[in-house]
Structure 1
């Protein structure tokens, strides 16, 4: 999943309302007594630990909940095939340009149109891949 993160895919942070955060996969909550903390999802404990302070415990519990949420969401994603498609189209474009130079008026119109269509598909695919 690191490739997607490098390409700009991020999980939206949980929005906390006190000790609760609703998400598309369930409700997270945290608890802290002194430096002891726990993070729960749908009332099931997903993490626990010990921090130096009560405030630190709350922050650590929220960080654990966010890490759980991030991992769950990212595990459901798959890489986009668009970069592979662009590479294949660029190969096609290179082959077309070997046979049809830009300024070859003698090249059949159908071949020139094919080259131009390949370029248009590359541009459209790159625009989709860039968001």
Structure 2
């Protein structure tokens, strides 16, 4: 009897790579983006779209993202949504980075403006005294 297991390394990595909460956050972010796509009447599959198509989508998404109460999300929620969309794309073999790649500069400029606007409306990170 061998002391080493017979697990498939590809499934082992995917099953144990992220926590349950990370999976839930990723699902939430992708659902918010999917809801935006549907509500806008767009026909785009982010797993099949080109980088330019995704960049244009995110530019519009960041300019118009709101929660169900029509209010801005808090800063940390917005940061988590963007990171989760990035994670989702990478998990599905889209090996580019929506946060750092130059093709996404205009989208990220909109994201930065959104963070400023949320801070102005009191939705920024609050540190207790």
Tell me, yes or no, whether TM beats 0.5: no
> Structure 2 length normalisation: TM-score?
0.25
> Structure 1 length normalisation: TM-score?
0.24
Indicate the structure with greater strand content.
1
Indicate the structure with greater helix content.
2
- Higher relative CO (Cα under 8 Å, sequence separation at least 6) belongs to 2
User: Larger radius of gyration, structure 1 or 2?
Assistant: 1
